[in-house]
Chains A and B, each alone.
Chain A
Amino acid sequence: MTDSFLSQFQLATFFLPLLGLTALSGILISVMLWRRVLLEQEKRAHTSDILLKRSRELEATKTNVEHERDQLTAILSSMGEGLLVVGKDHKTILMNQAANILLRTAAKETGWDANEIFQLYRDKSPKSETDKLFDEVIKEADIVNIGLSDSFTCKIREGMTFPITFIMAPLLRHGKVIGAIVVFRDATKEKAVDRAKTEFVSLASHQLRTPLTAIRLFVEMLSTGEVGELSEKQKDYIDNVDRSTKRMIALVNELLNVSRLETGRLRVDPVEVQLEEAIAVILQEIRFLAHAKSCNIEFEKPEKRLPKIPIDVGLLGQVLGNLISNAIKYSAKESCTVHIKLELKTDSKLSRQERSVKYVQISVQDNGIGIPREVQSRIFERFFRSDNAMKADPEGSGLGLYVAKIIMVTAGGKVWFESKEGKGTTFYVTIPIKGMKKREGERGIAK
């Protein structure tokens, strides 16, 4: 009995803790399970919070995108210019309202073959250049800018035509060309205004220059003593009239140039030249002026001979002439040195792939009065002259740099400067290595 009791007791002492342990672990497990459930719930709640937040954010983004899209659509449709976007296959992807009106196409209709609805003819040429131009833009990632003077007409599907001006540019995505964009306008009114302006300019130039020529002829006869000797005072006065008349003729010429430049009628006629030689010839003409002002002109050629590039030498001569004569005018007579440097450059701002893009740079450096910092931004403005320039040369017209800038921009180049007042100025002229852009136009430059 005792034995059995003992054995029962022993069994109990053996199993009871075991039971306790089991119970404890049961509790522990359930606690853990509960915790997990709770955590899971918490996590779920958190996730749904995030989801809610995300969906709110998405909603906001969607609203923003829609807003932007609406805004863009509003901008595109209220644009006065027609906008046409084509893919690489020259089929239309997008047209704004103005384009639909001008080209008489139905709104929201896309997939037109561009040459079907938008035929572009240069001058009186019978062949549409639409495909050729799009190819140029898409394959060469080039920008084509067609102004009034380029005399393009657009023929629409219904056979009607109108004079057109446009800019065609490549459509890029992640740096790759995926099509082209054209912004264009009906230039009928501009054409009429341009014609009126042309007539006015030719009239004004004739009407102004003819009496000036007559004055100059009579003055010359007086000052050479052809009609009798003049007293010293009379000679002095007549010489003053002569100088003023010549200045006036030069000013009329400059105004005519400006008018031609502004109406975009300037002709750019590049021919292949060796730039070193062309500049040397241009300098020959200027050396005369330099000599009169006892100024020293230096010309630094590049170490390696440049390839021949297409340049309109007359226009380049005008630009360099204006820059160099400024350099001479605004230098002190005692120590005037103008340094002209020609070099081949690559654009360091471009990516490595693009860095093979080369251009020719001509710099004109002087040690003259310099351009005051506060007026540097205005220096290319028409008729603008800084106070120190006015003091150094009261007779300047304020058109030289303006003309230089328009010529360079029209010819596809650039002009800019670096300057420190009292130390000197360096003007830079750059021309892409492929040369100046040919441009049809009425006239060259008057000299």
Chain B
Amino acid sequence: MMGWGPGSVAVGRVLWLPPFGASFRVDALAIVMAVLAAYLTLSAGWFAGGYLTGGARSQGRFRAWLTAFVGVCLGVVLSADWLTFLVFWELLTLVVYSLLCYSDKKAALRYCVVQIAGAGLLSVGIARLYVETGSLVMGPVPGHLAPFFVVGIGVKAGLLGLHFWLPDVHSKAPAPVSSLLSGYVVKLGAYALIRISAGPDGFILWVGGLMALYGVVFALLQHDAKRLLAYSTVSQVGYIVAAIGAGSELALAAAACHMVTHALFKGLLFLSIGAVESDFGTRDLRFLGGVGRLRPLTFASFLVGAAAIAGLPGTSGFASKVAVKYAVEGHEAINLVLMAAGAGTAISFARLAFYAFLGDTSRLADNGRMTHARPPGALALPRNVGMLMLAAATVFMGFRPGTLPAFLGVPAPPFFTSGNVVAALVTVLAGLLGFAAFKGVLYPKPKNVPDIDRLTDAMIERLALVPTVLRMAHNGSARFYAFWTVAAVIVLLCVL
């Protein structure tokens, strides 16, 4: 549709409800997303083998859901019309809900309801699009319908303000599911944004820039390692959204590149923290320390992921961040914001490495976690396979940064120029120094920093009173109900 890659290949329309058909399309972007889904799920599946407790039956069911996950994701990225897209989009919510139920039912329900509400808004947009234009082909949408689409999709992508569910759900999910959520599901939102992109859009550009900064500031303040990673996802999706807002063909390709690399390294980071959590029973930075010496392979995987997210040359993160930098060329303010966010990312991961993996094990011992530590044993092998898969891909894409742009059919920008490398190294160095300088401020504090989710929680609490009040009006007295009926008749007579 963008003239990318080897050209669009339209594959069949299956007759569905007339006048609607399910139509599918394969193009370069769709192929990239499809392969990514399969690869990430495979690694998560391996990892789950050493992570999940519960018998073989529970494991088997989990794998079945993972398989369903891949299938539904393929449906999302390959569909060529909005109704087909919506079908898979909602089914995805259902599958993720079932996966989330393996750890936290409350978070699962929250995710499900929020996503169904978002998809509902999207469905209003799609219905209006159909009634007004008579077409359901995926592509840029008319301006007055864009809010429905952007907000509906944004709920899945965790756009600024619509991310209220994200830190909670991503941190409470089982680690392999977190890796899929942060690595892939959120990217599907970005993918849909690419599909509706109609050229440069200042609003989207700034939403992306602000997200990048907002996410990283909150990431710096977390004590829960997975919450930190979740906020860092908000920040990294900000990069992607900013590139989508820049809107040129090159920029969209850059967004796609960052989607892929972030999926790989954020998946890796979630898996490595998950491994730590499953061995030591905590992921709280206040209680961890010295894990690097006890679990060197996990530490190594973590380092690869952290280096990539900080944008160290030679990792995939460097390549895609450079691509995004080229994408937002000409928007100096955004470029500065993204650089600041990059430094912040470096600080937050230096902090995570320091409190979780470095130092001695005294804090673990103090809190009695050492005695409970689960020996990795036979569980380690499947887990390590999962992590190594992602680490290898991260390193490969770091050394061959031109592969992905070439596949997407855009000219690869020069990656390893001295300017880029120096800028990346300076950012990382600034991060390390920044952490050293502000170590006192950044010491993990026991409380979660209030975010917009406090606001939404409070709102939901107030709204929950409505059913209670309504229920009081249903007191079971027939006399009272009869009064309603009479009132209804009078009102109807008046208005008709």
Is B truly associated with A?
no
Residues of A near any B CB (own CB < 8 A): none
